């Protein structure tokens, strides 16, 4: 019986410490990557803003639902390995800039993805910046010590490069 109590106290201390550490970590984070792509900005923008076709080239996306015509205010529900996340098109500047915001305040995280495209020779320089927030202190600890804030961006960019090479 004593060892059960010891395990219980130990778990309580571990979770308590994780909670305190999580409270000390900032809610916000920024992750950004820039790549050079062998396609003009109009083509790159056409691919990244054609939400309905994401499942064709993003293996992590199972299903997309789009409420709107792709312009400002459009809601894009992305069902992936992370669950269903709704995004709202906040900024859309043809062939140069797009900002998507997580549109569900009940999730444990939020923020934006900003896509910035610059012509570069015969290709395009694409920068994706995630300005994210993690609200739950336990999830902040997990994100800080166990998950890379760049993984989702890197996966998106690798899949995009493959799509553009087709």
- What rounded mean pLDDT belongs to the chain? 91
Q: Which of 14-23, 37-46, 103-112 has the lowest mean pLDDT?
A: 14-23
pLDDT tens digits for 10-39? Answer: 777 777 776 767 667 788 999 999 999 999
The DSSP line for the chain is -HHHHHHHHHHHHHHHHHHHHHHHS-SEEEEEEEEEESS-HHHHHHHHT-GGGHHHH-TTEEEEEEESSSSTT-EEEEEETTEEEEEEEEEEETTTEEEEEE--TTSSEEEEEEEEEEEETTEEEEEEEEEEEE-SHHHHHHHHHH--TTHHHHHHHHHHHHHHH-
Q: Architecture of 2-165 per CATH?
A: 2-Layer Sandwich (3.30)
Q: Can you tell me the mean pLDDT for 59-78? A: 95
User: Any idea where the domains of the chain sit in the sequence?
Assistant: 2-165
Q: Can you tell me the mean pLDDT for 50-71? A: 95
Does position 139 have pLDDT exceeding 90, yes or no? Answer: no
Q: What pTM does this model have?
A: 0.86
């Amino acid at each position: 019986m004593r060892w059960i109590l010891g395990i219980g106290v130990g778990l309580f201390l571990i979770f308590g410490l994780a909670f305190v550490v999580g409270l000390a970590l900032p809610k916000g984070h920024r992750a950004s990557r820039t790549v050079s792509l062998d396609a003009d900005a109009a083509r790159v923008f056409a691919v990244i803003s054609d939400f309905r076709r994401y499942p064709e080239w993003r293996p992590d996306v199972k299903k997309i639902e789009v409420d709107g015509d792709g312009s400002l205010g459009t809601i894009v529900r992305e069902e992936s390995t992370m669950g269903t996340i709704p995004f709202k098109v906040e900024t859309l500047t043809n062939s140069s800039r797009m900002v998507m915001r997580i549109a569900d305040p009940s999730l444990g995280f939020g923020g934006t993805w900003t896509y910035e495209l610059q012509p570069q020779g015969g290709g395009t320089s694409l920068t994706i910046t995630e300005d994210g927030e993690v609200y739950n202190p336990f999830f902040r600890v997990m994100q800080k010590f166990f998950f890379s804030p760049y993984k989702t961006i890197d996966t998106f960019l690798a899949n995009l490069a493959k799509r553009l090479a087709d």
